[in-house]
Structure formats: C-alpha cells, structure tokens
Amino acid sequence: MPDLARELDLAELKGRLYAAVLSDVLDELGHPDQAVKPFVRPLDEASVLCGFARTGLYMKRYHLPEGHNPYALEMDLIDSLEPGEIPVLACDGPTDRIAPWGELLTTASMVRGAAGCLTDGLVRDVRRIRELGFPVFHGGIGPLDTKGRAEMMAADEPVELGGARVAPGDFIFGDVDGVVIVPRAIAPEAIRRALAKIEAEDTTREELLAGNSLRSVFERHGVL
C-alpha cells in the first residue's frame, strides 16, 4: 500500500469527490490526458471506484504450452492485494478477445479489501458481480475465458489503459461520468483542489437556485 493511502480517507473521498471535478483540476495542473476513454463504463452506474492502482498488462496468446499455467501472474497480483487497492488490467482495449475479470477474481479481491477493478478488457459473470456490489469498470461484456486467448505478461509497472497512463500507486477515481487517473506525485494537491472546487460549486448552485444569473455567479466564484 503506498504511503499516500495513510494520508487519505478513502471512504470520505468516495462520498465527496466526483470524476468531473478531478478532471477539471488535472487540467489546471497540466495533466489533461488522465481521463480514461469513454468506452470504459461501470458495470453498475451507481458504483464509485476510489483507491490505488495495482497494474497488470495483458497480451494476446494463440497457443497454450502443455503444463503452462496462464493464470500464474494474475493470481499473484490478486493474492497480494491490500485494502484500498484496485487491480488495473490493461488489455489494449476495446477488445473482443481478452476477458480478464469475472466472479471468482471479484470474490478473491473483495476478501482482501480491494476497492474495485478497472479494465479496458471484457468482464463476465456479470449477474453475480452485480449481486456482490463490487465496483467494476470495464471495456465490454463477454463470456470468454482468457485461457488460450490472453495472458498477463507483467504486473506492477506502468501501463496505458483507455488512452490514460497508469502507474502503480496512482489514485483512481471513477463514477458514472467516467474514470480519472491521478498521478501519485500530485494526488494530494489534486484532491485538495478538487474538494475546494466542490465547495465553490455548492455555493454556485445555491446562488443559481436563488435566481442569480449564471454570469454574475461565475464572476463571483469562477466556477462553471
């Protein structure tokens, strides 16, 4: 678990933050390409993804050598998860071939206190995962097993997922609007600014509801 985790209350942030405001703040900080492409969607639109990245990189396979376990690195990653961590599985999606996530990995991750899963690959066992209430953001739904089709080739190193670069320990936040990757080095400042912006937006909303014009409210608070 990164040191940053000890500084942040994930349960509080999960209830206060939202993806759009974090995206705005990352623009201000000079990181405009940290939103995952919009084909990656939540399995349940009410779910919120909030935690720290543990990365896995997948490659296509077209042959399974005799005696080879194609799940070995995948299992090691899941078995080593700590509370608040999120498996981030990069499959070069969108894809119709690589489906790294299902019910059993969900169950194993939940038991370890993981905060969800993010992948640009496919997921399966959707009904059971929804029943478990585990936040999963995915690049599509399909019944395929990865065996003989794909394999995790590396773990805990930088990857690209849905057009955004993700490194181990980066702060991940996702909701119905999409997923934002906050680089670990700027996460405390980005979160501080995001919470301040949310307070300003709350004030703006109250003044708009009171009948103030959009222009006058913007001129006072600079929030839109």
Domain annotation covers residue 198:
no
Domain annotation covers residue 64:
yes
Which residues line the annotated binding site for Mg(2+)?
Answer: 124-125
> Quick check: pTM over 0.75?
yes
Of the candidates 98, 109, 163, the one whose C-alpha atom is nearest the C-alpha of residue 132 is 109
Which residues line the annotated binding site for substrate?
Answer: 102-105
* Full residue range of the structural domain in which residue 110 is found: 9-19+32-182
The pLDDT of residue 1: 47
Which residues line the annotated binding site?
Answer: 102-105, 124-125
Reported as a single tens digit per residue, the pLDDT across 128-166 is: 999 999 999 999 999 999 999 999 999 999 999 999 999
Pairing of β 164-166 and β 150-155: unpaired
The pLDDT of residue 52: 97
Q: What is the largest CA-CA distance in the chain?
A: 71
Domain annotation covers residue 45:
yes
Domain annotation covers residue 57:
yes
CATH number of the domain where residue 114 is located: 3.50.30.40
Reported as a single tens digit per residue, the pLDDT across 167-187 is: 999 999 999 999 999 999 999
| Structural domains in the chain (count) | 1
Q: What are 51's two structure tokens?
A: 């935690």
Q: How many CA atoms lie within 13 A of 120 on its CB side?
A: 26
Domain annotation covers residue 60:
yes
Reported as a single tens digit per residue, the pLDDT across 194-209 is: 999 988 777 778 777 8
Distances (CA, A) of 164 to 95, 102, 133: 16, 23, 26
Section 57-72 average pLDDT? 93
C-alpha triplet 131, 137, 138: angle, nearest 5°: 105
Distances (CA, A) of 81 to 127, 146, 207: 24, 21, 45
Rounded distance between C-alpha atoms, residue 35 and residue 74, angstroms: 25
Rounded distance between C-alpha atoms, residue 167 and residue 159, angstroms: 6
